[in-house]
A and B are shown apart, each in its own frame.
Chain A
């Protein structure tokens, strides 16, 4: 019990803090609608060229392809967090000193912040987006109850992967003056290599191999393929295994980097 008392308290604080600023999430719904509209419009044109037979063959219909993107953005709306930005701001303002001085590691603080935000998003943000998407566009339900459960399980692992990636990017703020470019590069790399903008099956072979060597497919491709039932049975378990491996791997890397950076941190007096 006592082991979890501190993380639970941190998660609760993050949840409540997000609740206080919930208004800004509502314009977020519009942002996501724009994403979905723009990219599915482009894909509609692609589908119309007849690419459906080749690289898009695994999608039975345009509805299935649309569902892939809608679910992808929905999943992103749930897993997204600003841990990298928060860390940058803490370093720039110097408040990081107080954070590092706490008896809980910076890494655990940030991970709990991400989990708290995800809980908030699951409760208040994603359901609104889901409703809007279903009302305006309508998309396919999960292939089966098992697929839904596998999808949800993989999403939980995605939160951890997303949080750790953002944490590692945020740590660069300790070493550089501005992390703006790195955060932007990370965002574009994630959007491309996770399969959020383009299903990985559509990629040329070389790029697909590269994508599978990164943790990014854990964020979109794996959950979406589970949702649509494109992978089932033993393959589905293997997908979840990949997600879990990345979550654990990045968790360990983040702990190591956190120790190294926190130890070398010099705070100016004043």
Chain B
């Protein structure tokens, strides 16, 4: 409880600072929305002359795409520090400050900087999912909606786990090379039916960097893709396993942190 209050205070503090530049903030929200719209436009244009690819209709693909945008937007609000964790916290030694406080070190890093304009992406995702569901004539019952809630949380957890684990590697290697960008580019692949991709990519998307479980597999339940039922149900489990990997990797990393000596 006390911990939650602390994160709340972090967020309130950030919000005050951010809202000091209000016009700027709304310009940023607009730009984020424009970016999301342009990335969605790919799907729309792709399906102008055709009805389906590999047995998936436009609205089904849009449903999956939207289901991926929602957790991505949520994750992106707190991901700021994960991407330059190696530079800011390990190489410059700011991690000392984190260790001095009696709150979980990973949570401190994640909740220190926010980017709330990315919630625009989540909001657009909700609209896309709702529209696609209506056009598909899906009758989403309470179970479907509850499941989609679980799916969004699992999706966030998978993003946090993957990029947190990559960040924790910088405790061991001063990673100026950047494993994160190629992994980041894979997010997009998780928005399409995995069957489209070659075997190796499919394997990676399922078991190594499990972005197929962010939106594609969990969407099988509301979309009634019964052939994917088993993968679909495994979603929360996959998220938990990868959070476990993150916890392990982070603890190992923190233990080997040596500060900068300055």
Q: Which residues of B contact A38 (CB under 8 A)?
A: 188-189, 192, 197, 201
A178 CA / B24 CA spacing, docked (Å): 8
A198 CA / B52 CA spacing, docked (Å): 16
Whether B182 lies near A177 (C-beta < 8 A) is no
Instruction: Take A41-B198, A49-B52, A180-B115 as given contacts and tell me if A34 and B189 are in contact as well, using a CB distance cutoff of 8 Å.
Output: yes
A28 at the interface (CB under 8 A from B): yes
Whether B53 lies near A49 (C-beta < 8 A) is yes
How would you classify the secondary structure of chain B's contact residues: helix, strand, loop or mixed?
helix
Q: Mark B36-71, 1 if CB is under 8 A from A, else 0.
A: 101101100110111111100000000000000000
Whether B186 lies near A177 (C-beta < 8 A) is no
Instruction: Take A37-B198, A38-B188, A41-B196 as given contacts and tell me if A189 and B28 are in contact as well, using a CB distance cutoff of 8 Å.
Output: no
B117 at the interface (CB under 8 A from A): yes
Question: In B192-231, which residues have CB < 8 Å from any A CB?
Answer: 192, 196-198, 201
Whether B178 lies near A24 (C-beta < 8 A) is yes
The residue from A35, A41, A178, A184 contacting B197, defined by CB atoms under 8 A apart: A41
How distant is A95 from chain B, measured CB to nearest CB, in Å? 16
How distant is A126 from chain B, measured CB to nearest CB, in Å? 17
How distant is A174 from chain B, measured CB to nearest CB, in Å? 12
Q: Which residues of A contact B31 (CB under 8 A)?
A: 181-182, 184-185
The segment out of A78-86, A200-208, A219-227 that lies at the interface is: A200-208
Whether B198 lies near A180 (C-beta < 8 A) is no
Q: Which residues of A contact B188 (CB under 8 A)?
A: 38
How distant is B24 from chain A, measured CB to nearest CB, in Å? 5
A122 CA / B97 CA spacing, docked (Å): 43
The residue from A21, A184, A185, A192 contacting B176, defined by CB atoms under 8 A apart: A21
Instruction: Take A46-B50, A49-B52, A203-B45 as given contacts and tell me if A185 and B178 are in contact as well, using a CB distance cutoff of 8 Å.
Output: no
Question: In B1-47, which residues have CB < 8 Å from any A CB?
Answer: 21, 24, 27-32, 34-36, 38-39, 41-42, 45-46
Nearest chain B residue, comparing its CB with the CB of A190: B38
A212 at the interface (CB under 8 A from B): no
How would you classify the secondary structure of chain A's contact residues: helix, strand, loop or mixed?
helix
A185 CA / B185 CA spacing, docked (Å): 16
Whether A30 lies near B53 (C-beta < 8 A) is no
Instruction: Take A23-B177, A24-B176, A28-B181 as given contacts and tell me if A181 and B196 are in contact as well, using a CB distance cutoff of 8 Å.
Output: no
Whether A54 lies near B201 (C-beta < 8 A) is no
Whether B29 lies near A181 (C-beta < 8 A) is yes
Whether A45 lies near B115 (C-beta < 8 A) is no
Whether A177 lies near B189 (C-beta < 8 A) is no
Whether A27 lies near B45 (C-beta < 8 A) is no
Q: Which residues of A contact B48 (CB under 8 A)?
A: 202-204
Q: Mark A210-222, 1 if CB is under 8 A from B, else 0.
A: 0000000000000
Q: Which residues of A contact B241 (CB under 8 A)?
A: none
B136 at the interface (CB under 8 A from A): no
Q: Which residues of A contact B177 (CB under 8 A)?
A: 23-24, 26-27
Whether B197 lies near A177 (C-beta < 8 A) is no
How distant is B137 from chain A, measured CB to nearest CB, in Å? 23
B240 at the interface (CB under 8 A from A): no
A202 CA / B38 CA spacing, docked (Å): 16
**Chain B residues with a Cβ under 8 A of chain A:** 21, 24, 27-32, 34-36, 38-39, 41-42, 45-46, 48-54, 115, 117, 176-179, 181-182, 185-186, 188-189, 192, 196-198, 201
